[in-house]
Amino acid sequence: MWGMIDDQREAYEKISQELRRGLVILAALSRLDEKKYGYSLISELSEAGLEIEQGTLYPLLRRLESQGLLDSFWDVEGSRPRRYYVLNETGQTVLETLTVDWRSLVAVMDRLLNR
């Protein structure tokens, strides 16, 4: 990224964003076998090395819920009300399939990039 002129950086950022778009979904699903609220998920992913913008992750969780992969509920017991998300059965199955897909993609990409 260093040494790029502005046009190059802009192109790079666009492509990089596209590359991460699908990946973020898989990353989020992978951590939701236990119930989590938005901020705890973003912190966990960040600790693991994946920085996701808040403005991206929260709407994404709702979309996955409306697609039937996640269940959600409000918990008003703690210091403040929090909305929790957790994988449901469909989500589990989809995550397993996507994990297989991901591994084979990584293998293919490794072959392509290490020629």
Partner 1 sequence: MKLIERYLNEIGRYLPHNKRADILAELRSVLEDSLEAKAGPEPSEGEIAEVIREMGAPAKVAAAYHPASQYLIGPELFPLFKLVLGIVLLTSIGGQLIATVVSVMFGDGQVRILEMLLGLLNSIPVTLGMVTLVFYLLQRFEVNPDFKEEAFDPYKLPKFEDEEPVNRVEQVVGIVMGVLFFIVLAWFADQGAFGWSRVNGVFENPVLERYFFWIGLSITAGIVLSIILLWRGRWQTSTRIANVGINLFSLVVLFQLIQGHREWLRAAGYSGNFMVINELTEIIGEGTQLIGMLGTQIALTVAAIIVLIDTVVFVARLITRANRRARVMDYRLPAK
> Which spans of this chain sit near partner 1 (rule: CB under 8 A)?
37-40, 43, 53-56, 58-59, 62, 74, 80-83
| Min dist. Cβ of residue 83 to partner 1 (A) | 5
- Token duo for residue 53: 């913008």
Which lies closer to partner 1 via its Cβ, residue 65 or residue 102? 65
DSSP string covering 30-79:
HTTTS-EEHHHHHHHHHHHT----HHHHHHHHHHHHHTTSEEEEEE-SSS
| Min dist. Cβ of residue 71 to partner 1 (A) | 15
Which lies closer to partner 1 via its Cβ, residue 38 or residue 92? 38
